[in-house]
Amino acid sequence: MPRLYLPSRRPPAPASTRGPATRADVDTLAQAAPLAPAWGWKTPGGGRAAHISAAPQYQATTTQACGLFPFVAGAGTPVIGTPIGRHQLWGEVVCLDPLAWLRAGLITNPGTFVLGQPGTGKSTLVKRLVTGAVAAGSKAIILGDTKPDYSMLIEHLGGQVIRIGRGMDKINPLDLGPLGTALRKMSGPAAERMRWEVRSRRLSLMMALATLVRTGPISNAEEVVLGRAIDLLDDRLAGHSAPTIVDVLKVIEEGPEDLRAAARAHDPGHYQQRVSDLVFTLDLLISGSLAGVFDSQTTTPLDLDAPAVSVDISRVGAAGDTLLTAAMLATWAYGFGMVDAAAALTELGIAPRRTYIGVMDELWRALRGAPGLVEYADSLTRLNRAKGMASVMITHSLADLDALPTGEDRAKARGFMERSAITVLAGLPPRELARVTQVTPLTTPEAEMVASWSAPDSWQPGARHPGRGKYLIKTGERLGIPVELSLVGPERRLYDTDQAIRHRNTEVEQ
């Protein structure tokens, strides 16, 4: 504190008024004017300050702020996209949006891979990204909500929620959905290309579902017969309606001449021998553990104009992993078909250009259903950049992917993370971080920081988990961005995934 003198007490002039002051003059002056108290004199004009408030903080772009205050330094974190929290080290606002980052040249593809232990807030971060994307004009597609975590948010945003299950909404795997609308408005070579694309998608999904219930791939002969049966039904229905699995099973059992020729069967007996396994596989899709979900026409079509769409498949989870995996596969196909249909309508000039953010939660549950399903998921997601779609894949651990049945599947599953330009890490133990470092390089301080979020350091009931809402954003070889998310307003209710547990605890206490 500088030495202040009471203004009303003028010290006497030193004895010597000529020349420089002597030591005696300084001592005389100090004795005549006592020092002011630390907070100033308690007199008017004495500089008394009982409280010093913090200076106000303002946030603005460098273009605006430099005109008001020229000593401004640029931020070290991206300010493009949805604000997701503040930097944990120096408090700057951190923004994230895969499509916005792609347009700004910060990344090379809009893939995002979110990895973290249960309860660390992975879905909370993704919900913030979904909310921001919808506010920015993109459309959100939740491709299979297994819990459900996203239905309340999508309804709050004015979106469409489709609930799949027995006695509820159904999905016809052979339904073209919005692609059918686009195809009916096309002509010439473009229409022919779209027809082949539609055929490929239908056949790929049917093969994936057959692989799932059979727990093994179908043969080449069965693939040929299945594809020809779908073509035959398309010719019969002439585009008035989509064939169903029941229709496919019926026409294969009938064994018309076209199918016998496709099966290279010399007589009906030889044909029945060729297709006997395929018949039982298709029958399982409509009468076995999957009965009541895929055996009729789609009841609620996807709304292309909705700001967000969520397909809630939580009701089928109680029927086992097979039905859940089948529902996820069908949902993925239906959702990506919606994106392709929107792109086709845009090229025709009859629909505005749209961008999408697709969320694939509980990724590992679909991939581990049967050998070969990773290939199907890989084919769906590989060209997202060209479609104007950002994909967000969420899983708990890379060990989930290591549990896939074959080495080829495991290698392709790791490719999901390798191809994602953005990796978001929530709390993870050191052993898991060793796996992550093989794909996404982490510095020692980064690994230690993420590991410190993995478990509470005490047994105190009600203590906040140290990793809740904390994330490390990695892009390529850049240093990671540690960010902490804080919920605001209705987010505390819309993003809460523990409501059922708390509701149950309240009932028990009462």
Any domain includes 411:
yes
Average pLDDT for the chain = 82
Q: Which two tokens stand for residue 104?
A: 């700004």
Among 72-76, 349-353, 380-384, name the most confident range. Answer: 349-353
Q: Is a pLDDT exceeding 60 seen at residue 499? A: no
pLDDT band (50, 70, 90) for residue 4: very low
Any domain includes 406:
yes
pLDDT band (50, 70, 90) for residue 100: very high
Number of domains in the chain: 1
| Between 289 and 427, residue with greater pLDDT | 427
Whole-angstrom distance, CA of residue 395 vs CA of residue 146: 13
Encode pLDDT of 161-188 as tens digits: 999 888 889 889 998 877 887 888 888 8
Any domain includes 32:
no
Whole-angstrom distance, CA of residue 508 vs CA of residue 503: 9
Any domain includes 418:
yes
**Overall average pLDDT of the 135-159 stretch:** 92
pTM above 0.95, yes or no: no
Any domain includes 491:
yes
Encode pLDDT of 310-336 as tens digits: 999 888 866 677 888 888 888 888 888
171, 298 contact by CB (below 8 A): yes
CATH label of the domain that carries residue 424: 3.40.50.300
Q: What is the DSSP string of 134-200?
A: HHTT-EEEEEEESS-SSHHHHHHTT-EEEEBSTTSB---TT--THHHHHHHT--HHHHHHHHHHHHH
**Overall average pLDDT of the 116-145 stretch:** 92
Whole-angstrom distance, CA of residue 430 vs CA of residue 397: 12
Any domain includes 331:
no
Domain with 384 in it: 80-138+355-510
**Proportion of the chain in helix, strand, coil states, percent, rounded to 5:** 45, 10, 40
Any domain includes 256:
no
Any domain includes 277:
no
Helix (H, G, I), strand (E, B) or coil at 481: strand
492, 498 contact by CB (below 8 A): no
Encode pLDDT of 202-256 as tens digits: 898 899 888 888 888 889 999 999 999 999 999 998 777 889 999 999 999 999 9
Backbone φ, ψ for residue 313 (5° rounding): -115, 20
Encode pLDDT of 448-483 as tens digits: 999 999 876 666 666 677 888 999 999 988 889 999
